[in-house]
Structure 1
Amino acid sequence: PYSKHIKGKIRELRVDFGRNKHRIFYFVFIEKNIVLLHAFLKKTPKTSIAEIEKTGENYYNVLKNLKIYE
């Protein structure tokens, strides 16, 4: 698996199983905890805007509800 920066604190974990390309968006949270924001099976060469927008929504939902994750 490989990881790359997407935007702000959000990173993308790339996991390939044969022809299947899985993508997991995540960020590192308080004290090195990892929060998985969104995962999908990538079917095109470029990640769709919708997948990135969904990840952004989930990221802001986590930040709005910090008490749940403490």
Structure 2
Amino acid sequence: MTQAVKSPVIINKYGKLLISPEEYEKFNQLEDMYWKMQAKNESKSGFLLEKESKDFLNNILDCVK
């Protein structure tokens, strides 16, 4: 377990990767930064009008029915 504090460890029984809580937090922060940048870049291209939004959502709902 002490090795997991320094570097990721593969748990063979389930094939899962184990990382330290610190690395997990760092990963979450990087992921949050990525999605914030994505949202910022997309907001520059503009937003849908109300009718466009409703049409888009209605099309999705029609596909689900």
**TM-score with structure 2 setting the length:** 0.34
**TM-score with structure 1 setting the length:** 0.32
Q: Relative contact order, CA 8 A, sep 6+: which one is greater?
A: 1
Higher normalized helix content (fraction of residues): 2
